[in-house]
Each structure stands twice: as C-alpha cells, then as structure tokens.
Chains A and B, each alone.
Chain A
Amino acid sequence: MGVLAAITEAWQEVRVHRVRVVLSLVGVFLAVFAMTTITAVGRMGAQMLQESSDRSQGRAATLQLDVYSSDGSSTVDAESMATLRAVVARHEIAWSSLTGSLQFPARFPGGTQVISGTIAEPRYGEMHRVQVLQGRWFTDADTDRFAPALVVDQQFADAVGGFDPASPPTVVLGGDTPVRATVVGVVDDRNTYSPSAWVLPGDVERWISADPAYGPAQLGMQVWVPDADAEQLQDVLQRELTASVPGGNVGVSRYDSGEELGVVNLVLAYGVRGIGVFALVLGGIGVLNVGLVTVRQRIREIGVRRSFGATSGRVFSAVLLESVCATAAAGALAVLLSVAIISNLPLSLVLPEGISLTDVPPYPWEAAVEGFVAATAIGALAGIVPAVMAVRAQVIDAIRY
C-alpha cells in the first residue's frame, strides 16, 4: 500500500505542477517521439530498399546458376536447361526459375521496337516480388499454350493500345519468323525507360528469336533458398554442376544483395539509436535541471510532509517517482503520437516517384517499448539528484519560514 500511496502522491504532484512538468518534459517527449518515429521510418526505408532489391536481384538468398557454352556465353539450349532442372530437383529446391535476358523485335501499331525481354518462369514472380497491375503473372498452364504468353510493363501495354482482361491484347514478335503473342498481364516496373516484357523459357526456345543485332538469349537459373543454407548450397551446386557439364564451364553465385542490405540496416539501426539516445540524454538534462530548481523551491513543502511522518525513504521515492511518472507519461504520449502518425502515413504521397511498398512493415513495437523504457529510465536518473537534495533538506529551517 505504501508503494501505491507513493505513486499516487507522485502523480498528484505531477498534476499540480503540470505546467512546470510539461515544460521540463518537452525534450524527453521530442526525443522519444524522434527515436520511435525515425526507427519506424527507417524500418520502412529498409523495407523499401529490400523490396527494390528483391525486385531486381531476388529475395535473400537467391543463387544464380549459369552454364556457359564454349564461347563463354550462357545460351538457351535444351541440354543446359535439363542439367539445371536436374540439379534443382535433386536438392528438392521448391523455388526456382530459369531466367535470363534477350532482346527481340515487337510490331506495335505505331511501328516495330526492340524490346528488352526477361526470361522467367511462374515462380519468378514470387521470387522477385513482382507486382501485377492488371491481368496476372505466369502460371504453369502458360507453358502449354500454343502461342507465346507475355507479361509486359505499362509502357508495352500502352504501345499495344492498353490492357483489357476480357480481351487480352496480342502483338506480333520476331523478324523473319514472326509469331503472335498474347499479353496475359501488366506488371509494375517503373525502373525502365523503354517497353519491356517477360517471356517463358519454353516460348523463347520454340518461337521467339532474339534480335541478331543484340546476340543470342542469355540463360541461367535462379533458386531461392533459406539464407542460412545459401553458402553451403552454393558450394554443393557448384561441385555438382561442374561434374554434370562437360568441360565444367559453370558458375554458381549469390545474386541477391542481402549482405549489403544487412550493413545498411545495421547502420540505420545504430545510427538512429545513437541519435535517439543523444536526444534523450539532452532531454534528461532538462528534466534534471528543472528538478533541481523545483526541489529548492519546494523545501517548505518537503518539510511539511516530514511533519506528517514522511520518512527519508518516502521523501526520496516521492521526488524520484515524480520524475519517473512524468517522463513515463511523456514517453507514452510520444509513442502514441508516433504510432498515430506512422500508422496513418500516406505512403503514396511520401515515397519517392517509382518506389512502392508491397509489404508495409508493421510499427516497430520493440522501438516503442524501448522508447518508453528509456524515457522512464531517464526520469529515474534525472530524479536521483533532486531526490537526494530533498532528503538532505533541513526540516526545521524548511517549515520555520
């Protein structure tokens, strides 16, 4: 009951001296608000980088498997495709996609253009966090079509007159041996400045001839494996592919940028935390300063409380708890404000042009808890000196005048 009485008394003091308390807490409030908000924004920034990286280079951990021809290029041929598929099947890797690049002509109503093509299979969409705007990404059924299927970007879709899911547009591809392809979906790809398209490897092999001016299609395979297994698997796959391919001209490498992003996240986490702690210390000095001045002004009150029977310990804890209650309340308010702002942030207006977030990270509750605990701790630290002064106050002098 003594503890409850002490806390009640401290809270009563905070309410009575609210103007002073509020002024002294501005620093702590801003520090906790900044710390939690910047952490949340930083988390979003990291997620933004992560997603951007995932789209271009695959999720962590993505391994790139290449089989090179004798001239050093990794070309599309049935034999190398079969070799890669066999290795993946042997290790029961669930997420894999043949992938590569080629350039091919497409005959748009406005004229023929050379298109940057990406060879991809159905699983590639998830592995590269592809965002479908209209229609759909490739499915396994697309591999059995009698005509090539295309997934295109918005520029490509605009060039064929727009995308209507009820009546998907078609476009003639190729030069000497043209083939009519059907556009099955439009994806978000704002990082290119010319029309681009995604094609299935089987379609490339059967129907789509690469533009001779830009050389043959390049092909490899990407696999998405658990980050922890990536290094070991990289060695194993390298050995097995080398043994499977005559001449052993193969390469297995880490394709995603997980490690680099890890460094960015680390810098972000410690940088933000460092700034937050610094701001919090400054806020704490403010609380300490006001606390010291206030105790001097409240000596008489402390003396009167002593006459009521307040022990030294009780006077100490009352002054200390006053500081703790106040900073804890400031911390809680700062966290609430931060949550309210971050949760209602209009991302489409805030994010830079061309950047989007598929998985908006949740509010970092650990940062909120950290901020609240730090505010409470700084209140305790800043309250110790005034509390010691209050205990040392001469009661008789205090109540005499």
Chain B
Amino acid sequence: MSVISLDGVGRTVALPDGEVLRILTGVDLVVEAGEHIAVVGRSGSGKSTLLNLVGLLDRPTTGEYLLDGRPTAGMSGRRTAKLRGATFGFVFQQFNLLAGRSATDNVASPLFYGSSREFLGRRRTARAMLTRVGLGERLDTMPEKLSGGEQQRVALARSLVRRPRVLLADEPTGALDVDTGSAVMDVLEELVREDGTTLITITHDLAVAARADRRFRLDHGVLSPLSDAALQDAAADRSGT
C-alpha cells in the first residue's frame, strides 16, 4: 500500500482584493514506502505548499489526500497534529534550530511530543542520533557555534529522532555550499536508507534532484513527472550549454 496518495489535490487562497490565487492544481502523486522522491520547480511554483499539504501542516481545498490509505480530510486538529508528529520529520532550508539550546536539546525537542518512553529517554536518544550524524563530539554545542553543514546535520538528527516514516526536506542544501550540501545529502540518504524512511525532497538544485528515485517538476501549481532526459536538458539549460 502506498504511504502517500494525492488525487486531484488543489490549493487556493483568497487574496485581500477578493481574487482567488491558485497555488496547486490537480496534483496526483503516489509515494511508496522507502521511496526517494524529488520535486523541482522555480520559486513560487508551489513546492513548499505541496510539502506543507503532504506534511499535514496545511489542508487541500480540492481533491483527496490519503495517508496510509486513510483520508486525512475531516480529521480534528489534535488528531492531525499527533499524526504529523508520529509520521513526518521536517528538514528546513534555514535549519530552524531553536536558539539558546544545545545540539542535544534541539534534537530532543520533538520527543517532548512523543510517548512517555520517548520523553523520559529523550536526552539519551538525542545523543545517539547526533552520534549517527557524526556530531558525537558536539553534543553540548550551541547552534550558533556550529558551521552551516553541522547545523543542518543537527536539524537532520532532529527530524529523524522520532523515527518518522516520511521525511520531508524543503531545500535541505539551499543554505549550504555545493560540497557541504553534497555531504549533508550523503548523510541524509544513508540515514533514510538504514531506517527505510520515505524521503520527499523539494529543491531547485538539479544535482540534489538527480539523487532521487523519481523526480517531478512543479510548474505554476501543476505537477508532472521529470524524466532523466528532461532533467539533463534542464541541467544543460541552467548551465547555459
């Protein structure tokens, strides 16, 4: 059974002048467990909105979203929040680490919303997770004392600490240089492979998209598959060759 199934999903917002802005139109997407999906698109194409819908941070205005075969429409806010915490991990472009807290405290923070066992063992779990991402020596370091790559690895550890079944990465290398971004993606892919986690990456970095099992293009709110050939063409277009 597919983990995520979007069927004709659309998202519109009403603008202050009364107009309706169409952000996503008729999105169909089926993601199987353990898959790595990449969605590329220009800024403003609706990538983040799509990720928010999938991550239950937002609701579609049209269409149907099935999570593990169950419809998500009509779920209470509380149930949605619980399901989000238990199912999804988020990696943000700007890391969004909590200031004033050590790397361990940051990674432990999602465990406040988990089960009693998760809460009570949060520091031990967090330290183990940081060790997995190669930051075993920086457990008590504050985020502002870490490099960009290290900060994103802390964010990565935090997103995976509750062992989510789906990891949603919104421009995970967007704030990093090429080498650091590539190293972070290596760690990310290794972790999700080990845990069998489904990975959905939103990016406009074609090199990052090329690492995915399947790729999609989002253009003006319309999602379409991106073939290897199209990916190479797009890369060539972007490099100007």
Q: Contact residues of A with B, CB < 8 Å? A: 1, 4-6, 8-9, 12, 16-17, 300-301, 303-314, 395-396, 399-401
Contact = CB atoms under 8 A, between A and B. Distances in A.
Nearest to B82: A309
B195 interface: no
Given A9-B112, A12-B105, A311-B82, A304 B96 contact: yes
B85 interface: yes
Contacts of B92: 304, 399
Interface in B93-143: 94, 96, 98-101, 105, 109-110, 112-116, 119-120
21 contacts: A1-B115, A1-B116, A1-B119, A5-B119, A8-B119, A16-B98, A305-B113, A307-B88, A308-B162, A309-B83, A309-B113, A310-B81, A310-B113, A312-B77, A312-B78, A395-B57, A396-B49, A396-B57, A396-B58, A399-B57, A401-B94
Contact of B78 (A307, A311, A399, A400): A311
B55 interface: yes
Contacts of B112: 5-6, 8-9, 308
Contacts, number: 75
A309 B101 contact: no
Instruction: Provide the main secondary structure of the chain B interface.
Output: helix
B86 interface: yes
B91 to A, nearest CB: 10
B90 interface: yes
A270 to B, nearest CB: 44
A243 B90 CA distance: 97
A312 B83 CA distance: 14
B163 interface: no
A14 to B, nearest CB: 11
Contact of B85 (A1, A308, A399): A308
A400 B48 contact: yes
B158 to A, nearest CB: 8
Contact of B96 (A6, A8, A300): A300
Contacts of A303: 96
A5 B115 CA distance: 10
Contact of A399 (B96, B114, B119, B162): B96
Interface in B47-92: 48-49, 52, 55, 57-58, 77-78, 81-86, 88, 90, 92
A301 B81 contact: no
A305 B109 contact: yes
Contacts of A313: 78
B57 A307 contact: yes
Contacts of B115: 1
Nearest to A315: B81
Contacts of A16: 98-101
Nearest to B81: A311
A1 B52 CA distance: 29
A307 B55 contact: yes
Nearest to A310: B113
A309 B112 CA distance: 9
A310 B113 CA distance: 6
A312 B84 CA distance: 13
Contact of B119 (A4, A312, A395): A4
A396 B50 CA distance: 11
B116 A307 contact: no
Nearest to A9: B112
A309 B96 contact: no
Contacts of B48: 396, 400
A8 B81 CA distance: 20
A310 B78 contact: no
A229 B114 CA distance: 65
B101 to A, nearest CB: 6
Given A1-B119, A12-B105, A399-B92, A308 B57 contact: no
Contacts of A307: 55, 57, 84, 88, 90
A245 to B, nearest CB: 83
Nearest to B92: A399
B234 to A, nearest CB: 25
A163 to B, nearest CB: 70
Contacts of A8: 112, 119
Contacts of B83: 309
B160 to A, nearest CB: 12
Nearest to B158: A308
Contacts of B162: 308
A327 to B, nearest CB: 20
Nearest to B53: A396
A225 B118 CA distance: 67
A9 B105 CA distance: 11
